[in-house]
Structure 1
Amino acid sequence: MLSNREVILSENHPEVLKGLALFILENNEKLAKENAKLRKLEAESKLRELELDYQRTILRDLVFGHGVEKSRASSGRNRRIKPNEQLLLHAQSLAPAPTEEERKNLERSVVSHEMTGAELVTVAKEMGLDRQEQSAFSEIKGLTDDAVEITVIERRYISELHKLKKYRYHPAPDENLEKEVIVTAERTDKLFSGAGYSIDFALSVVRDKYEYHKPLERQTREMQRLGLNVGTKTLYNMAEAVSVHMEPTVSLVLQDIFKAGLAVECDETPWFIQSNHDDDGQMWTASNQAGTYYRFEPTRSGKVIAEILKDYAGPVMADGYGGYNRLTKDKKIDLAGCWAHARRKFIELEDVYPEDVGWVLDRIGELSSIEYEAKNYEELQKLRHEKSRPLAEKIRGYLVEMKTRHLPESALIKKAVNYTLKRWDCLTKFLDDARIPLTNNGAERAMRHAVMGRKNFNGSQTINGADTASVLYTIIESCKKVEVDPTTFMKEIILRNNRDEPSISPLQYAKQIRTPPAENQ
């Protein structure tokens, strides 16, 4: 029996050969289609695998958190400030502190070390000297071997007895008084009338909890070790008393932020309430170089930020959360978008689309580098017009082309591209207004402080505790913005209140203490 090949080779009829040729072509086309389909399925399978790996990464970060948002490439995307390099204009202090050379050094003390007579005799014996007696040695005045050593004096708790002296009034010979007049010395250095703990003690509690994130329960254990038995409720009462003193200052901080002539950066984060009677809420913040304002509210509604900014007119920087869209209804506010949030959408996809995502990340890195070239806001506006604007248009064009090229293959790249293009008008507001920073990182840095506290002591026991936290965070973070010691400032405010003097903000205080005497007159 002949094989198919032999049958074809032996056939010489044109019609039969034509039919065989058509049959072969049809089969080849069918096989080609099936091969293409298999290749597509293989590509889709690989893409699904990459997307699943991406989703696992996102879920892991949601559960366990993530570190610094670093790109794999080392082409300058993850820029770091070099020593002595100028900070971004939007990060510079409005009331610069003295330089390191001008700052006070640590408190110094001198400890003299002498040799005893016995030690001198021992040295003489070891050296084989003739006179092995103390009188053979005399001190060389002014000649010492010096070595600097840093030490620590541990905190101590002291019970102080304050004696308020009394004074008897001696009336004039012709003065008639119904009863004897006796007056008592008054104290203006108390946290509140009848307080059994000093202002310094209360401020140390506030500093440890709200600046260094040490829970009150942990503070009580340390105090017990040092001989003081006190409960967490007592410590909280003192923190609350300090916050009451600070409340007038909080409104001044918000006024400083509004009047600074800079964009207001906004953010929010969940805040836990441990009480079963109250619901969890959100810690909101509004900040710029003039200060940082915090407010706790039980809702994430955009009504909150609209209420906070009701007396403000100017640019506002925020992330892509929809609640901030409410601000667009206010004609006084110009809502700008954050490039750091847009960048994050692409950072997450770098492993899946290294070439396209790498290009976008590099261009965003260039936008950031341009910001560092400016020494003042006039230069910044010029640089943004000459360099940043063309670069932004290049990014937009590439995103549009990338969207067309990748869709409908991947929902992941679609999400990142659409996020950026949808917010393009907000993202490019910075090109026309030098007051607007490139990112909302300033607000996120301010919020990070509260988040660290939330993690350490799991939010607040009650809503009142959350309000206390918002007041104290406002003061502490605003002091940091203008490089003022928060504890020193809070004590100054308490003493001012006790003397019925008007309160001042950290920015006003910083300018006051750093103004030369001649200018201050």
Structure 2
Amino acid sequence: MSQFSDNDDFIQELLQQRDELYAEVSRFRHADNGTLDTLEKENREKDTIIKQQSEKIDKLLDQLAWYKRKMWNPSRERYIPENPDQRKIDWDGLDLLPEEEKLTKEADKEIIAYERRKPQKEKKKPVRLPLPEDLRREEEFIEPEGLNENWVRIGEEVTEVLEYKPGELYVRKIIRPKYAVKSEEQITEEQSRIRIASLPLLPLPRSNADASLLAEIIMNKYLYHIPFHRQIAMFKQLGLILSASTVNGWFKDVCDLLRALYYRLGEIVKDSDYIQVDESTVPVVNDEKHKTVKAYLWMVRSVMKNLVYFHYDKGSRAQKVVVELLHDYKGAIQTDGYEAYSIYEQKKGVLLLGCWAHARRKFEESLKEDKAGAEYALLQIGKLYQIETMADDQELDFQQRAELRTRLAYPIMVAFEKWIVNYYPKVLPNGRMGRALKYTYSLFYRLSRYHLDGRYKLDNNLAENAIRPLALGRKNYLFCGNHEAAENAAVIYSLIGCCNACDVDVREWLIDVLTKIPNYNNDYSKDLADLLPHNWKNSNKTEIIPTDSNNC
């Protein structure tokens, strides 16, 4: 009986503690007056702030990684997988038709088979080339000491060492003797009593600078990127003192002299049926703002004629500039993904092509964020470049190259496009991988058109190479003084760019053209196109011209 009594007491004690705790909680709730709700609301707000800050930190870390890569990593875009034999690919995203899957597998097999049977190139050992025979030789004899009549000369050892002498300035004195007639009876009234030879046409009539000096100044700045003030210091060491205003005046006059030739170049470039277009920045001084502003130079490259043409329109990058620049153009235009070019999708007679190098660059930047997806994308793009290597190795003509692309490249592009559509929901839309997929898919119709014609290039790299001297130049001379100076720079960059593309000696071309062009400007029956580097090279027969149509 006592046992049951003890249990009842224990239960009553527990019930009493429960009632006390309930009463205490009730008092706390009554005294709280909404404090708990406020704390919960504050916690939710803090969670939201923490989430936003985490996203911002991830974005900043992504940007920091990109800047580190640009600044210190090698600037190569070629992708090599770490272990291609063991890498596993997720094919769940591909939803190919049986016929498309069959064509894709056949293309992969043919590419792999070609790579396996392709002979490996032997690495060449470095060999010291002989010094050119046309260089002037100065002989120096060094006799051994202690010789007498007992010694007989049996030969000699010759060691050739390159020497350098700084450039030399000299004066060409043009002397024109004057002659007077002895007897005035021997001449008619129309004839002059004094005769003197005509002065040869000089590039700049009111200047004492000849073509060779003008060519050297222009070439040093726009080919070797030496600003005028450094050149003035170099000339001073050679004994010639020039003012900055004199050199700038010479440069302006030379650009005016070459401007008609520059316009003729633009007509020829835009007359071709396949061009590449790109744009790049050039700092220009704005007098109103008293600082440099970012302006743009547009570049048009004729792929088949291998000519480049730079255009400047007050530094604008607006769509209206390219519309005016190519308003009558008919043919294929290859560009990057800049939205200004999208207007040509609707223009009759124009075929817009994309650049696979830009798409590949996006995926290469996404490797650290999504290694599996980026590696797969880079592998597919790499196959397209392998097909181009196959065509180059086999020296296929344009028709055969187009057929090879249709048979191998097109099935790969179809599979790649479907993979992009199915893989996009798996990535962060605002991440690097998401942006790479969105960029590539939005331009896929442009990217895939290159297989239609064997002349079309896979990317726009040749155009970017033509712009590279502009990037080097602005790091040295820093800016253009005004819009007129930027227009003059476009003139020189265009003509020197054509010389480099056609493998023409810039100095030799400039000296010859600056000497001849006054005659062309005075005689409109002559075609200025004869002086353009590709035609000048053929007329002067400086070297044997290759048969490849891509070369000048």
Taking structure 2 as the reference length, what is the TM-score of the superposition?
Answer: 0.71
Q: Aligned partners of 1:228 and 1:187: how far apart in 2?
A: 25
Residue in 2 aligned with 1:147? 159
What's the CA shift for 1:197?
1.4
Quote the sequence identity (%).
21
Structure 2 residue matching 1:236: 3-state secondary structure = helix
Alpha-carbon distance change, 342 to 285 in structure 1, aligned in 2, over 3 angstroms: same
Q: Is the 8 A contact 1:288 1:443 kept in 2?
A: no
Aligned partner of 1:193 among 205, 213, 222 = 205
Q: 1:316 aligns with which of 310, 321, 333?
A: 333
Q: Does 1:458 align with 2:478?
A: yes
Is residue 269–residue 308 contact of structure 2 (8 Å, CA) maintained in 1? yes
The whole-number CA distance in structure 1 between the counterparts of 2:329 and 2:182 is: 59
Q: Tell me the equivalent position of 2:369.
A: 352
Deviation of 1:493 after TM superposition, in Å, equals 1.9
1-side partners of 2:378 and 2:295: how far apart?
Answer: 35
Displacement of 1:170 in angstroms is 5.8
- What per-residue deviation string (whole Å, max 9, x for no partner) do you get for residues 333-360 of structure 1? 2111111111111111101111110111
Q: CA deviation at 1:363?
A: 1.3
Match of 1:286 in 2: 300
Superposed, 1:123-202 pairs within 5 Å as 123-124=146-147, 132=148, 143-169=155-181, 173=185, 175-177=187-189, 181-188=193-200, 190-202=202-214
Cα offset, 1:414, TM superposition: 2.0
Superposition deviation, residue 138 in structure 1: 7.2
**2:232 aligns with one of 220, 242, 256:** 220
Residues 76 and 297 (structure 1 numbering): CA distance in 2 closer, same or farther, change over 3 Å? farther
Letter in 2 for 1:314: G
Query: Which of residues 474, 481, 500 in structure 2 aligns to 1:480?
Result: 500
Aligned to 1:276: 287
TM superposition shift of 1:44 = 12
TM-aligned CA distance change 1:224 to 1:84, over 3 Å: farther
The residue type paired with residue 205 of structure 1 is I
Report the Cα offset of residue 254 of structure 1. Answer: 2.5
Q: Taking structure 1 as reference, are residues 66 and 243 closer, same or farther at Cα in structure 2, changes over 3 Å only?
A: farther
Aligned with 1:243 (options 243, 247, 255): 255
**Which of residues 127, 134, 140 is equivalent to 1:113?**
140
What is the CA-CA distance between 1:435 and the residue it aligns to? 2.8
Q: Aligned with 1:123: secondary structure?
A: coil
CA drift of 1:301 comes to: 0.9
In 2, are the aligned partners of 1:281 and 1:297 still within 8 Å (CA)? Answer: no
Q: In the alignment, does 2:381 pair up with 1:369?
A: no
1:122-179 CA deviation, whole Å, 9 max, x = no partner?
422xxxxxxx36xx66777xx5422232222211223443323223356773644389
**Aligned residue in 1 for 2:105:** none
Deviates more, 1:320-329 or 1:499-508: 499-508
- Residue matched to 1:234: 246
SS at match of 1:295: strand
* Aligned CA-pair RMSD: 3.3
Residue of structure 2 equivalent to 1:295: 311
Match status 1:512 vs 2:543: no
CA distance in 2 between partners of 1:191 and 1:506 (Å): 18
Distance 2:415 2:329 in 1: 34
| Residue 464 of structure 2 corresponds to residue 444 of structure 1 | yes
CA distance in 2, matches of 1:438, 1:72: 16
C-alpha displacement at 1:277, in angstroms?
A: 4.2
| Alpha-carbon shift at residue 473 of structure 1 (Å) | 0.4
Contact 2:398–2:453 (Cα < 8 Å) also in 1:
no
- The 10-residue stretch of structure 1 (177-186 or 280-289) with the greater mean CA deviation from structure 2: 177-186
Shift of 1:238: 1.7
Structure-1 separation of matches of 2:153 and 2:184: 67
Distance 1:165 1:372, change over 3 A: farther
Counterpart of 1:431 in structure 2 is 451
Structure 1 residue ranges without an equivalent (≥5): 1-42, 86-103, 125-131
Contact 2:400 2:454 survives alignment (8 Å): no
Structure 1 pair 515–178 and aligned structure 2 pair: CA distance change class (3 A): closer
8 Å Cα contact 2:277-2:333 kept in structure 1: yes
2:347 is aligned with 1:330: yes
The change in CA–CA distance for 1:513 and 1:407 in structure 2 (over 3 A counts) is: same
Q: Does 1:392 align with 2:413?
A: yes
Change (3 A) 1:182 1:424: same
Tell me the CA shift for residue 274 of structure 1: 2.0
Write the deviation string for residues 381-415 of structure 1: whole angstroms up to 9, x where unpaired. Answer: 0111011101111211221221132356x643221
SS, match of residue 159 in structure 2? coil
Deviation at 1:280, TM superposition (A): 4.6
Query: Structure 1's 108 and 285: CA in aligned 2 closer, same or farther, altered over 3 A?
Result: same
Is the contact between residue 227 and residue 477 of structure 2 (CA under 8 Å) also seen in structure 1? yes
Aligned match of 2:512: 492
Given the alignment, which residue of 45, 53, 77 partners 2:61?
Answer: 53
Output the TM-score relative to the length of structure 1.
Answer: 0.75
> What's 1:267 paired with?
278
